[in-house]
Structure 1
Amino acid sequence: MQISRRKALVLGGSAAVLAGCGTVATNMTAPTSPVGLNAIAQTKGLRFGSAISSGALKDDRYLDIVRRDCGSLVAENEHKIYVINGESQRFDFDRGDAIVDFAQKNDMAMRGHVLLWNRDDFLPNWMPKQDWGADKKRGMKAYLDKYFETVLTHYDRKISSWDVVNETIDPATGTMRETVFTQNFGPDVVDYAFHQARKLAPDTQLVYNDYMIWEPGNENHRTGVLKLLEGFRNKGVPIDAFGVQSHLGTGDGPVGKGFPDPQRREWRAFMDEIVGMGYDIILSEFDVNDTRLPANVKQRDRLMADYAKAYLDMMLDYKEVKEILAWGMADNHSWLETWWPREDGVVKRPGLYDANYEPKPLYYAVEAALKNAPLR
């Protein structure tokens, strides 16, 4: 995910659907366990981490939270093609290297995001204008070979898991997006990306990552992702895990209506099919968007925590889930602080910690879900 221009998740509805899920306490002022979220996760065979930007490396108070709670990191944008290869003849690893160096110094695992983001809206400006030659597939293949080899060789074993392909399914149609990559190489470019990644990084976990979720409006998206993953297995494409981004949130509908009734049965059927194919699961970009929630802070925080806890309890019931990464730990380090702004102008609160680095009910929801998770 970018500090992103994307993903209007379709929501509305009422928080009443969470009845019976339990309510997360909201009167705590410090984490109940001094060891941090990753230490709790480890007791269950899990790992907890977060996305981080290179700019956040200058915020010492925030880094204290990251060190305390996280066992893995992923760069928000610094390992994307428009950063690394923003200029056609230049590869820039400076910002990405800074994050990897921080992870290594703090004994954290590092995930890579992303090698092939199959969307034209997140390409470097030069790429749509590029002349790939008379044999367009050959020209695109030569470029991808160079890009994959440059990036994967540069990071070698410093990155243990890569989102090889990201968001290739059009959520409206459930079919593969038409992009510079598919138009010049062909639709099998996503298969090729995984084969190249396996060849160049044989010991690295290879992941397909996408943002469909359990909320209404994601039906076509889920169907398309399921078909894609089935195709990977049938064709012997080397993919180890599926990244469920887990952006819970609000999109359409009036402010103040809360969350919708999630499609639990349909979501479980979707997940059952995926784990039945033998994929591990990563909750790769977890957060909660409060755009459509009531303005009252106490009420809003409670709704977010209860909704997140219900989702995490369901997902952690799958022993194939091995890792959770928040997409930013604090309100002021979240892409959601500015994306999908509230109509009422109220400041958003999407993080596990607030802007003063105090833990919120959402933190305790994650903590409780990890403690309740079955051992894997």
Structure 2
Amino acid sequence: MRDWQASRRGVLAGMGGLSLTACAGAPAVLPVGGPVAGGNTSLDAIARRGGRRFGTAVAWNEAGTGMSLSNPDYAALVRSECGIIVPENEMKWQALRPSPDAYDFSAMDEIARWALAHAMELRAHVLLWHRPEWFPDWLNSYDFGANPVREAERLLVDHIATVTARYGDQIASWDVVNEAIDHQRRAPIETSLSRAMGNPEAVIDLAFHAARERLPDAQLVYNDYMSWEPAHAGHCADVLRLLEGMKKRGVPCDALGIQSHIEIFEIDPATGVGPYDEAGWRRFLDDVTGMGYRLLITEFDVKDAALPGDIALRDAKVADYTRRYFDLMLEYDDHLDDILAWGMVDASNWLQYFEPAARPDGLEVRGTPYDSKYRTKPMRDAIAAALQA
């Protein structure tokens, strides 16, 4: 992984030559990894002792709400705890591509500027979310013309070339393809792009080759949401088959991003937390790393639907489940790179509006390190303890 200082070169030129001061009220450069509430060492500072960074998803909106870096409370928390950030939605096709011939970098540029201003590393998410429900409408109905293969290739390569040219000197780790598995077919998902090019593998392969051509030194990642619960065994097998195929075809993918939206949808009487297939998960990680892929935890949070409503008890159980997961993942120390939460504060975490994660009692999901009043929770302590251990 490149040092963040080296990765800063040329970024402002890539964003149209705008300077940091062109953004009203641009902050001074601040150090990462400072003390947090109560004088604790930041999660990033602890993670760096093991040669990795800790970070979180962020957003940008003018209203200054939620995970937006224009929200002063959230931005302050990110500065105090994190050394790396990733855009939640601002780099996805829906945000960047309002039409086939236009790009809108306004929100993503704000996140990139903020990261530079605070000497903070930036991850890329994502060059291609290969699912039709997350394509912009125009892409699902796009007319690929008389030569659909060539037009689909042009469209995809142009997107990757344009985005990487803008942010390539700032970002060292890129989610190239996200969630490409069709669970009904147990195979890579079909989209307008795959139908034009003949099969999904052609799209996936081209995305990685196009990214490598333009990012020769970057870490290229396949990102997906399989996890260690028994219900995910089929998904793990499908992802493993996808990675095996890419390896055989010489696709330049360096790492697997494990989203790690871990789940407590039922209680295991033996542990008092959610069931997890430790042996199966280890086999999966062994197979992935045995092929030479590195690992990242890219989107960590916890679904707490089966836990009781009592906050103290629930937070303790979530912390217990978190510690078990991190202890296992950190056994792969030689293969594990950065660790990112998918939001630091409960109120702005996506699980609050993700229907499958809803609690039957209607209470707020408490799946992040900080509560909705920006107070630390036992989960934060569990992550810190696992990183220290």
TM-score, with structure 1 as normaliser: 0.87
Q: Which has the higher contact order (CA 8 A, sep 6+)?
A: 1
CA distance in 1, matches of 2:242, 2:365: 35
Q: Which residue of the partner structure matches residue 294 of structure 2? A: 280
Q: Which residue of the partner structure matches residue 74 of structure 2? A: 62
Evaluate the alpha carbon distance shift between residue 95 and residue 120 of structure 1 in structure 2; reply closer, same or farther with a 3 A threshold.
Answer: same
Q: Which residue of the partner structure matches residue 52 of structure 1? A: 58
Alignment partner of 1:208 is 2:222: yes
Q: Which residue of the partner structure matches residue 184 of structure 1? A: 196
Structure 1, unmatched stretches of 5+, are 1-29
CA distance in 1, matches of 2:365, 2:238: 32
Of residues 144, 147, 169, the one that matches 1:157 is 169
Of residues 218, 232, 236, the one that matches 2:250 is 236
Paired residues of 1:132 and 1:140 also in contact (CA < 8 A):
yes
Of residues 139, 144, 150, the one that matches 2:156 is 144
Q: Which residue of the partner structure matches residue 83 of structure 2? A: 71
Paired residues of 2:225 and 2:259 also in contact (CA < 8 A):
yes
Paired residues of 2:256 and 2:295 also in contact (CA < 8 A):
yes
Post-superposition Cα deviations, 1:307-337, rounded to whole Å, max 9, x if no partner, equal 0100000001102111100000011221112
CA RMSD, 1 decimal: 1.7
Paired residues of 2:44 and 2:54 also in contact (CA < 8 A):
yes
Q: Which residue of the partner structure matches residue 325 of structure 1? A: 340
CA distance in 2, matches of 1:184, 1:175: 17
CA distance in 2, matches of 1:173, 1:248: 24
Paired residues of 1:250 and 1:292 also in contact (CA < 8 A):
yes
CA distance in 1, matches of 2:121, 2:340: 12
CA distance in 1, matches of 2:238, 2:230: 15
Q: Which residue of the partner structure matches residue 115 of structure 1? A: 127
Q: Which residue of the partner structure matches residue 42 of structure 1? A: 48
My pick for the range that moved more, 151-160 or 191-200, is: 151-160
1:144 is displaced (CA, Å) by: 0.9
Paired residues of 1:172 and 1:221 also in contact (CA < 8 A):
no
Paired residues of 1:172 and 1:220 also in contact (CA < 8 A):
no
Letter paired with 2:229: E
Paired residues of 1:85 and 1:124 also in contact (CA < 8 A):
yes
1:258 is displaced (CA, Å) by: 6.7
Please give the secondary structure, in 2, of the residue aligned with 1:160: strand
1:339 is displaced (CA, Å) by: 1.6
CA distance in 2, matches of 1:144, 1:62: 34
My pick for the range that moved more, 91-100 or 230-239, is: 230-239
My pick for the range that moved more, 340-349 or 69-78, is: 340-349
Alignment partner of 1:125 is 2:142: no
Letter paired with 2:337: K
CA distance in 2, matches of 1:43, 1:262: 28
Please give the secondary structure, in 1, of the residue aligned with 2:108: helix
Post-superposition Cα deviations, 1:40-99, rounded to whole Å, max 9, x if no partner, equal 111111210100011311221221110111110100000000100022321000101111
Q: Which residue of the partner structure matches residue 221 of structure 1? A: 235
Please give the secondary structure, in 2, of the residue aligned with 1:126: helix
CA distance in 1, matches of 2:361, 2:266: 14
1:153 is displaced (CA, Å) by: 0.8
CA distance in 1, matches of 2:39, 2:387: 12
1:170 is displaced (CA, Å) by: 2.2
Of residues 362, 366, 369, the one that matches 2:386 is 369
Q: What number of residue pairs does the alignment pair up?
A: 340
Paired residues of 1:258 and 1:294 also in contact (CA < 8 A):
no
Letter paired with 2:303: N
Alignment partner of 1:175 is 2:190: no
1:348 is displaced (CA, Å) by: 2.1
CA distance in 2, matches of 1:261, 1:348: 19
TM-score, with structure 2 as normaliser: 0.84
Structure 2, unmatched stretches of 5+, are 1-35, 62-67
Q: Which residue of the partner structure matches residue 307 of structure 2? A: 293
Please give the secondary structure, in 1, of the residue aligned with 2:231: coil
CA distance in 2, matches of 1:50, 1:172: 31
Of residues 115, 132, 138, the one that matches 1:103 is 115
1:174 is displaced (CA, Å) by: 2.9
Matching of residues 226-265 of structure 1 within 5 Å: 226-251=240-265, 259-265=273-279
Paired residues of 1:103 and 1:109 also in contact (CA < 8 A):
yes
